[in-house]
Each structure stands twice: as C-alpha cells, then as structure tokens.
Amino acid sequence: MNNDLNKFFYPKSIAVIGASSKPGTLGYELLGNLIKFGYNGKLFPVNPKADAIHSIKSYKSLLEIKDEVDLVIIMLGKHLVLNAVDECKKKKVSAVIVITAGFKEVGDEGVTLEQDLIAKIRKYKMRLVGPNCMGIINTKSDVLMNGTFIKGTPVAGGIGFVSQSGALGASVLKIIEKYDIGFSQFLSIGNKADVSENDLIDYWKDNPDVNVITAYLESFSDSKQFLDVCKSVTKNKPVIAIKAAKTSAGMKAASSHTGALASADTVAETLFEQSGVIRVNTVDDMFNLAKAFDRAKLPLGKRVAVLTNAGGPAILTVDEAANCGLEIAELSKETQAKLREIVVPEASVQNPVDLLPPATAQVYGKATEIVLADKNVDAGILILGPPLMFDTVEITRYICDAANRNGKCAIVVVMSQDEIIAEVAKQMPVHPPLFNSAEKAAWAISEMYKYKQWKELPEGKVKKINVNTKGVRSIINKYKKGDCYLDFNDVYDILNHYKMPIIETRISKNVQQSIYDANKIGFPVVAKVFGRELVHKSDVGGVALNIQDEEDLINVESRIIAGLKEKEMDSKLEGFIIQPFAKIEEGVETILGAVKDSKAGHLLMFGLGGIFVEVFKDVKFKIAPLTDIDAKTIVHSIKSYEILKGVRGKKSVDLDFVEENIMKLSQLVTDFPEFIEIDLNPFVFSPSRSKSKILDARIRLVKK
C-alpha cells in the first residue's frame, strides 16, 4: 500500500479549483472555511472568471500559480474534473481531492467517468480522495485546515474520523460541538475510488496526532485488507466503527448448516471482532467512546467505583456495569473510614458511594480523590446528579481536578446538562471525559477494558501441519467442472489426508456387502444412505443408529429402501454407509464448518452441534486462515464453552484437540478455496482425543 497521505493532511499549500465568489455555493463555503479556520499554508483559489475570492487573489488556472502546490481540491462540474486532473499532473501535484458528485453513485454514465478518473490517477501516480466527498480537516495548531464545506467549527482533539457518508460527516460536526468531542483529523472518502478506509486507518496507525480512530462505513473496500490493517492498528490504538447497511449478498445460495447459520451481517461482525475493531450502532456511541479513549487512560482492570449524589442513577449505573461485564469494586476499610470523615452522616461510603445532595464541590473533590486512590479500584464513574443549589460547574471542576491528579481511568458524568459540560470543557482544556449519561459511562469503561484485554492478547500464528495436499488434489481432479457435493468416500479420504478424525467408515453397494462390512466393523453399527444426491440423509429417513445384529441390519436397510421408493428417490441410492455406533454421551456434539463469502473468503464456524444447531445458533465465525489465538478465541467465545469444559461431573473435552482441528479445517479451505462449503456435523469431542470423532461430513465443491 502506498500510504503516504501527508500531502493531504499537512499540505504547505492548497489550490481550490472551482472556488467561487458566489455565497451559498460549495466553492465559496469551502474556501471560506479554509480562511476562517486559519489555515497556516498558502491558499490559491482557482477560477477563470474571478480576480479575487474572499478577498484573496484568485488564479485563472492552476498552471498560473508560480508556487509549488501540495494539495488540490477540485469542485468543478463533473465533466471538467478529468481536465483538471491533467492540469494537476502538469503542475506536479500528487494529492487531489475531488468533491464533485455525479460519479459511481449515479449509475452507468457515472461509473464510466469514475473509471476514467481512476485510470488517470493511476497513470499519473497520484493519490485521490473522493469523488463525491466533503473534504478534509486537520485541527493541529500548525496546520489549521478546514477543507470542507461543512457549517460549524471543528474542535481540536485526538480523534481521527473517516467517513464514507458525506451527509453523516456534516451532522457529526453538530454532535461534536455539543458533546465536547475533539477531532484531530477528518476525511470524507466518498466513493473511495482510490484512498479507502484501509489507507486511512493504516496511515493513522503511527500518526502521533491521532489517539483513537473512528470510522463510518457503508461497505468494505477490501475486507481481507481491512482485517490485516486493523489487526495491526488495533494493537496500537483503538479503532471504533459503525457499519451501516447490514447486508451481504455473499452467501445467499448456501445450503449447508454453516451457510445457513451465517447471516447477512456475519461477515461484517466477524471482520470487526477478529480485527479488534470496536463496533457500535450509533454515532453518539461512537464519539462518546472515542472521547473516553482520547481523554482517559485504559482501566487497569474491571473493578469500578461509582460516586454520586443521587441514588437512582447510581443503581442504574451499577446494573449496567454488571451487564457489561464489569465488577463493582469493594472499597477498602481505609477508604471507607476516610470518606466517613468528610461526608454527611446519612451518606453511604460503600460502593456506590452516595454523598447525597448536600455534597459541596470540596467534598466531591476530596471524595473523588479518596475513591480513585483505593487499590481495589481500577476505574471510576463520578456522577453529578440533576442540578442543585450549588454551582454545578464548580463541582464538576473539582471532580475533574481530582481525577486529573489521580490519572486512573475515570469518566465524569454531568447528568442531562450539556451546557455544563461545554462550560467545563471551555474552562479546563485538560479534563477527563465528560458524559451526560452514567450508563453510557459504564458501557464505555467496559469497552475500554475489553480493548485492553485485546491489546494484551498475543498476536497468534497460523500453524500448519503436514498434510497430503496431493491426495486431495487428485480427488478434486476426478470431478467435472461445476457445483456439487463430494461423495462420502471422497470426503472420508480428504479428512484423513488432513488428519481429521472421521469415524471408521465402509461403503457397501448392497445389503449383502453391508452385512460383511458390519461384521468387519463389529456390531452395534450405524447404517446411512449413500448417494451423491442424498446429502441430507436424515431428511429422507436414511439414518439408522444402534443396529445390533445382522437381522436387524437387513430389516433396517430394507425399510430405508422402501421409504425411498415411496418418495420416488430409490434411484438415487448408490449404497450404504456403515459405521460403528459411537456413544455420543461420552463427548459433546459440536459443529465445525466453513463457508465461502465472495469478498471476505472462507469463514470458519464452530459451535454447539447436534439436532439443535439451528435453534440455539450458538456458533462463532472467524475468517480463514485462523491463527492459534483465533482458534482459542472461537472456542472460548461460544456460550457452550462451559459444556465443553465439563458440567455436572463430566470431564472437559480435549480442548487442545478442538483448536487443532479448527486450524486443520482452516488449512484445508486455505489450500483448496474451491471447497465452498464444509459441514463437519456432528463432530463429537471427548475427554480423550482418540475417542473424538467426526460422525458426518459434507463438502461442496465448485470447480471452474
């Protein structure tokens, strides 16, 4: 990735092609914003018809400018854009933002125009932001660039924000004015013809001006790249994202259990989870959380203290904290004694500490100091209830002061009083995150704690085992081009080539041979229908378990054949699958599978198996190839993990073996992407690996 975006964010000079002297036009507003915000570099409006715009000299063309130009912002009619790009080339400009709309987003004609634009950009080795975007902001004091046509003034801070939607970018500026949220850099990427969210996130990884990255996305430019980029960035700084339009056409035609369990949103969800990106649902949540990350340290652990002057909000906060996986810190005797000395007698000095309404600024400040100093406290939520007779700004300042001095993770909540928040922020440039909702503060701390755990998680390695890829290749070679399920005997061989424990299986052509096979295996056995088109065997009454002897077997198979005849499916029967009857009770029935998404590649799935798979949907996905840490995480994150570990006196299954098999399947689909769906269901895991067996498996092959 050519990722030097410095010319965009730190330009020494900017030319605005299409700057206009007509108030109300975008060309007028954008140039006005650059001037108003106090841009530190040189500004060159370009307009063939104007001599001066906003009282600064205007140029007839880009080439008329004698100075070097670092960044060009183009706001012309769409048919003039390509010419302007040619001029940029002549002027040796390498960074271009096209604000103009009317490209890919309007369909056919626009698509072609955008392709022509990209072709030029590539040929000229330029970088392009847009088209159809709102521009760029850098609030750093030595840059002060507001190259957008948005109304309102951005506040400086440590948040980087990349937005795919222009309209959202505008409403965001309103939100941040209200909530004391500070941006360092903002980029609206529009149609993402060249510069994408991945470029930006990667660029901000090592940018010291950006402490936390936020993104509003409608689509992923390149899901694989998103995963790789974010995986490394999130170990460095938090990335918070909203992904709108939760749909993916990627896996529509899936017919396996794994495919059916992957919903339209699974790919996005998996991408976020696996890359450590924090996903939120609303713009409010995104910026509140970003503010918390920007202004507070990460919590040391999950024990929170709540300080308040109103009981109700404290109870809600404690509930929410517990809901989000936090613990309510137990304050030490010492802390409680110290608090007792300063509070009114009716106050509660246990967590949540309730100072009661009479608490003054001094008491609040002192109490904050005492509570945060407690070794049992990892983070604090300091709540100021609805307005009272005291000076709320003063109280808030005392709390903020104490929190600043302590330095631990703390969020100060001024309930439902945004004007107080704004005032405190103005008076105290350095302050802890100020929230207007205590529950949101609890949620934010829990997200910060989760992020800390993610950061501490080792990177993980994709571990490969020795397998017989040639064996698998020769099986694939037997099949014609097209889309089909593999024969069970081939599935059996493939799993053996990848050292996955498929249960001993014999395929018989007729009842006579079944008897022979069953005796070889040893009763009790299981008999199942065998046939390329009989993939869902139980559905056609084609599975018989616990067959005790030859007579039983003969009866069962003739019953199955009769059943198929009734459904006029007997012609599809090619034989019988004979297996030992496995005692499932000794292990846990799981499902391990894979399904291919057209964009993200293979998703691996693991979870609770058996007949209730699609009822409980207790499964998790990861994108292949999985690292050992991914495999561990997937096992730990299903609800039934407790069942795997053993409940009610049952021993834990061999969890290492579970993880190993997840990685083997990951290796299989990575080596053979033409396997578009795989179900290993049930995969019974037992305390001993020798007794852990795959009882059924399907592989769907698409051969081009």
661 binds, among ligand ADP, Mg ion, none (CB under 5 to 8 A by kind): none
Q: Please, is 52 exposed, middle or buried when counting C-beta atoms within 10 Å of its C-beta (0-12, 13-18, 19+)? A: exposed
Nearer to Mg ion, 392 or 681 (CB): 681
Contact 621, 282 (CB under 8 A): no
Nearer to ligand ADP, 113 or 582 (CB): 582
Shortest approach of Mg ion to residue 579 CB, angstroms? 12
Nearer to ligand ADP, 18 or 531 (CB): 531
Nearer to Mg ion, 285 or 696 (CB): 696
Q: Listing from the earlier edge strand, what are the strands of the sheet with 506-508?
A: 506-508, 575-580, 525-530, 543-547
Shortest approach of ligand ADP to residue 677 CB, angstroms? 14
543 binds, among Mg ion, ligand ADP, none (CB under 5 to 8 A by kind): ligand ADP
Residue 149 binding ligand ADP, by CB under 6 A:
no
Residue 582 binding ligand ADP, by CB under 6 A:
yes
Shortest approach of ligand ADP to residue 594 CB, angstroms? 16
Q: Which stretch binds ligand ADP (CB under 6 A): 128-136, 428-436, 492-500, 538-546?
A: 538-546
Nearer to Mg ion, 384 or 591 (CB): 591
Spell out the residues 6+ positions from residue 677 whose beta carbon is closer than 8 angstroms to its own: 254, 255, 256, 258, 259, 593, 594, 595, 596, 698, 699, 700
Residue 609, CA distances (Å) to 229, 600, 617, 643 in order:
33, 25, 9, 12
Would you call 219 helix, strand, or coil by DSSP?
coil
Residue list 497-516, contact with ligand ADP (CB under 6 A)? 503
Q: In whole angstroms, what separates CA 274 from the centre of its chain?
A: 7
Q: Which residue type is seen at 617?
A: K
Nearer to Mg ion, 149 or 530 (CB): 530
Shortest approach of ligand ADP to residue 612 CB, angstroms? 10
Q: Please, is 689 exposed, middle or buried when counting C-beta atoms within 10 Å of its C-beta (0-12, 13-18, 19+)? A: middle
Consecutive H or E run containing 320 = helix 311-323
What single-letter DSSP state applies at residue 154? P
Q: Which residue type is seen at 23?
A: P
194 binds, among Mg ion, ligand ADP, none (CB under 5 to 8 A by kind): none
Contact 50, 58 (CB under 8 A): yes
Shortest approach of Mg ion to residue 693 CB, angstroms? 13
Nearer to ligand ADP, 528 or 596 (CB): 528
As a whole number of angstroms, the distance between CA 479 and CA 197 comes to: 41
DSSP letter for each residue of 620-632: EEEESSPPHHHHH
584 binds, among ligand ADP, Mg ion, none (CB under 5 to 8 A by kind): ligand ADP
Nearer to Mg ion, 197 or 589 (CB): 589
154 binds, among Mg ion, ligand ADP, none (CB under 5 to 8 A by kind): none
416 binds, among Mg ion, ligand ADP, none (CB under 5 to 8 A by kind): none
Shortest approach of ligand ADP to residue 572 CB, angstroms? 14
Residue 462 binding ligand ADP, by CB under 6 A:
no
Nearer to ligand ADP, 380 or 609 (CB): 609
Nearer to Mg ion, 487 or 696 (CB): 696
Residue 584 binding ligand ADP, by CB under 6 A:
yes
Contact 615, 633 (CB under 8 A): no
> Tokens 């190259």 identify what position?
147
Residue 536 binding ligand ADP, by CB under 6 A:
yes
Nearer to ligand ADP, 374 or 696 (CB): 696
Shortest approach of ligand ADP to residue 593 CB, angstroms? 12
Nearer to ligand ADP, 30 or 699 (CB): 699
Consecutive H or E run containing 578 = strand 575-580
Contact 682, 609 (CB under 8 A): yes
> What beta strand segments (E) does 122-254 contain?
127-129, 135-138, 145-148, 156-163, 183-188, 212-217, 239-243
Residue list 543-562, contact with ligand ADP (CB under 6 A)? 543, 545
Shortest approach of ligand ADP to residue 496 CB, angstroms? 16
> HSE-up of 213 (CA within 13 Å, CB side)?
28
507 binds, among ligand ADP, Mg ion, none (CB under 5 to 8 A by kind): none
As a whole number of angstroms, the distance between CA 106 and CA 101 comes to: 9
Binding residues for ligand ADP, rule CB under 6 A, total 15
Shortest approach of ligand ADP to residue 611 CB, angstroms? 6
Shortest approach of Mg ion to residue 456 CB, angstroms? 39
β-partners of residue 354 are: 308, 348
Question: What is the per-residue burial (b if ≥16 Cβ within 10 Å, else e) of 450-465?
Answer: ebbebeeeeeeeebee
Among 121, 410, 425, 526, binds ligand ADP (CB under 6 A): 526
Residue 538 binding ligand ADP, by CB under 6 A:
yes
As a whole number of angstroms, the distance between CA 571 and CA 613 comes to: 30
Task: Say what the alpha-carbon torsion angle 228, 232, 233, 234 is, to the nearest 10 degrees.
Answer: 100
Compute the Cα dihedral for 420, 422, 428, 430 and give only its sign: positive
Residue 590 binding ligand ADP, by CB under 6 A:
no
Nearer to Mg ion, 146 or 681 (CB): 681
Residue list 561-580, contact with ligand ADP (CB under 6 A)? 579
Q: What region, left, alpha or beta, does residue 325 occupy, with left being phi > 0 and alpha being psi -120 to 50 degrees? A: left
695 binds, among ligand ADP, Mg ion, none (CB under 5 to 8 A by kind): ligand ADP
Would you call 216 helix, strand, or coil by DSSP?
strand
Question: Closest residue (Cβ) to Mg ion?
Answer: 696
Residue 537 binding ligand ADP, by CB under 6 A:
yes
Nearer to Mg ion, 384 or 699 (CB): 699
As a whole number of angstroms, the distance between CA 46 and CA 526 comes to: 81
250 binds, among ligand ADP, Mg ion, none (CB under 5 to 8 A by kind): none
526 binds, among Mg ion, ligand ADP, none (CB under 5 to 8 A by kind): ligand ADP
Residue 702 binding ligand ADP, by CB under 6 A:
no
Residue 682 binding ligand ADP, by CB under 6 A:
yes
Pick from 14, 8, 73: nearest CA to 40: 14
Shortest approach of ligand ADP to residue 522 CB, angstroms? 13
Residue 695 binding ligand ADP, by CB under 6 A:
yes
Cis peptide before 625 (omega within 30 of 0): yes
Nearer to Mg ion, 62 or 697 (CB): 697
**Which residues in this chain contact Mg ion in the complex, by CB under 5 A?**
681, 696
Binding residues for ligand ADP, rule: CB under 6 A, are 503, 526, 528, 536-538, 543, 545, 579, 581-582, 584, 682, 695-696
